[in-house]
Structure 1
Amino acid sequence: MNPSNWDIFTGEVVGTALLILLGGGVVAAITFKKSKAYQAGWVAISLGWGFAVMTGAYVAAGVSGAHLNPAVTLGLAIKGDTDWGDVPLYIASETLGAMIGAALVWLAYYGQFRDHLTDPEVVGDRRDGEPKAIEAMEKGAGPVLGIFSTGPEIRNPVQNVMTEIIGTFVLVIAILTQGLNQEGNGLGPLGVLIVALVVASIGLSLGGPTGYAINPARDLGPRIVHALLPLPNKGGSDWSYAWVPIVGPLIGGALAGGLYELAFA
């Protein structure tokens, strides 16, 4: 039985909010000097995001199917297990949930944000800075943007999009072949665990170039929150890059759905 509109809304909002709270939280934990997990490293980030997916998906699986990701919703729609009429509600709910989760990360680390963004070693003395350098920081990635959204190590749009396509394809094809519930419209109990391990694996193997968004809502929702929050010296939200973690994952999800129909259906 397909979930109701209310089930989709509540399940996806709550599940995605938990996903981003714990995922963004692990990035914050290793970023801030006054955090007990400071500099814990990339393995901690990859495992943290895997556990974050597991928590959000287990909470939402019995309600909405736990898509938690527009790329997953798109793949399931192409496969035929999610009604196309439900796709906009899924995506809107996922994005809203991601925004709520990002705001909760800010609240949980409120003191650390303020301390970090007033540290001269982090933001520099902007009074003595060159105007062009200050303008670049305000337009580009600010010093805490990585807690909210992703950014590339090498800014090459073609490579960056391709990396996101490949990573998301791995995620969605794993969900479609291994993770669905009996109705096929979302994750089953064992599937949640499988997908959590896949997300950790993607982070460890493919996350280095772009920070592996593999989820448009996961990147866009928190980026909007970063732009709106009253953080001192936060810098820009890097909107010139924001299209990459939207377009790449959607293409990857669509390709996975199409391949499933051709090779596995």
Structure 2
Amino acid sequence: MAHASKSSVSQHHHPRSSTTAGYANNGQVAIDVAVSQYKQARASQGSNFVNSGQAILEETNKSAYSGFAVTPYTPRRQIDQCEQALHNTNRSQYRIEDDHEERWYVTKSPHLRECFTEFLGTFVMICFGMGVNNQVVLSEEGNGTWLSINMAWGIAVLMGVYCSEGVSGAHMNCAVSFAHAVYGRLPWWKFPGYCVAQTLGAFLGACTIYLLDYQKLMKADPNKETTQANFATYPNPDISNVTAFYSEALATSMLLLCIYAITDQRNRSPGTVGTPFAFCLMIMALGMSFGMNT
């Protein structure tokens, strides 16, 4: 009777114990059902379902990038069972991958992949950045203001990081690549390729926006005397070249300082999810703080 009474008291004081166990059992059942559905789909299709950018859902827990050449920035994290079940329930992200499917172009060179992604990330960043510059200036602030320029540039960097961070580290700036090479984060032999890719991506992005706004540019500045500042950095007429150089040097120093502080794992790092957003806020702050002189 004493044992029965003690058990009754325990159940009376802990009514959630059975509920918690029920939640756990329900979660395990959901995982088992999802895995079972995935295996049945594989058996019926005779091919592997592949998540379009996150993970190859195999029992062997291979990396999402196992079919490509490895780079220093290739994610090493494996997908656990809970995450597999989550991915298995989202059928809209799957495609059927045939063993005999011919891919349009896949390079086996890790460095070439890094250069391609630096090109893409820089291109995306410049398209958004130059786009907002021209929109605000050519509309005479009718379709934007100084604030929208800085906010759009921050978002431009955010989108560029998302396009290239997983493969090349998303430098998108020769100064960043140079600093990484100096501090041993980037081999020196990779530095020229990064710079060439970033430069080509920037010029192609600028050309894309130039073609987009060509008619407006010709109407606003037929002699091409004032709108060059939409595409490049020029000193303010009220300051000297020395002040302009100091302004750019200070802004670049702050850029690199913040990048190293944000990505330092021994510091209060925002993590892999928060880092791109921290870069976005940093670019906004730099534009709002140091953008007046140049």
- When the two structures are superposed, what TM-score results if normalisation uses the length of structure 2? 0.58
Is 1:162 the equivalent of 2:162? no
Alpha carbons 2:235, 2:241 under 8 Å: kept = no
Tell me: CA distance 1:78–1:189, structure 2 relative to 1, closer, same or farther (3 Å). farther
**Structure 1 gaps, min length 5:** 124-137, 211-265
Q: CA deviation at 1:181?
A: 8.6
- 1:147 aligns to what? 230
1: distance between equivalents of 2:161 and 2:142?
27
Q: How many residues align?
A: 183
Q: CA RMSD in A?
A: 2.2
Counterpart residue number, 2:159: 55
Partner of 1:238: none
The alpha-carbon deviation at position 61 of structure 1 amounts to 0.7
Deviation sequence 1:6-65 (CA, Å, 0-9, x none)? 1222111111011111101001001113x8x63632111111111111111111111211
**CA offset digits 1:81-113 (Å, max 9, x no partner):** 111111111111100000000011112223322
- CA, structure 1 residues 175+117, in 2 after alignment: closer, same or farther (shift >3 Å)? same
Q: Does the 8 Å CA contact 1:16/1:98 hold for their aligned counterparts?
A: yes
In structure 2, how many angstroms separate the alpha carbons of the residues matched to 1:157 and 1:20? 25
In the TM superposition, what is the alpha-carbon distance from 1:179 to its structure 2 partner?
3.1
Give deviations 1:202-230, integer Å, cap 9, x for gaps: 100111111xxxxxxxxxxxxxxxxxxxx
Contact persistence 2:235–2:244 (CA under 8 A): yes
8 A contact 2:239–2:293 mirrored in 1: no
Query: Are the equivalent residues in 2 in contact too, given 1:77–1:87 (CA < 8 A)?
Result: yes
Task: Give the distance between the partners of 1:41 and 1:69, measured in 2 at CA.
Answer: 25
**SS of the residue aligned with 1:81?**
coil
Distance (whole Å) between structure 2 residues aligned to residue 188 and residue 87 of structure 1? 24
Report if the CA contact (8 A) 2:123-2:205 is conserved: yes
Residues 141-179 of structure 1: CA distance to partner in whole angstroms, max 9, x if unpaired? Answer: x22101110111134122111111111111111111213
Q: 2:204 aligns with which of 80, 100, 105?
A: 100
Which residue number in structure 2 is paired with residue 179 of structure 1?
263
Which digits, 9 at most, give the CA deviation of each residue in 1:107-144, with x for residues without a partner?
222332232234xxxx5xxxxxxxxxxxxxx7xxx221
Could you tell me which runs of 5 or more consecutive residues in structure 2 were left unpaired when the two chains were aligned. Answer: 1-70, 74-109
Which residue in 1 is equivalent to 2:284?
200
Could you tell me how far apart the structure 2 residues matched to 1:105 and 1:189 are?
Answer: 30
Distance 1:72 1:181 in 2: 18
What does residue range 43-82 of structure 1 map to in structure 2 within 5 Å? Answer: 43-82=147-186
2:115 aligns with 9
Q: TM-score, normalised by structure 1?
A: 0.64
User: How many angstroms does 1:193 deviate by?
Assistant: 1.2
Which has the greater radius of gyration? Answer: 2
Q: Distance in 1 between the 2:273 and 2:173 partners? A: 17
Q: Per-residue displacement from partner, 1:215-261 (whole Å, max 9, x unpaired)?
A: xxxxxxxxxxxxxxxxxxxxxxxxxxxxxxxxxxxxxxxxxxxxxxx
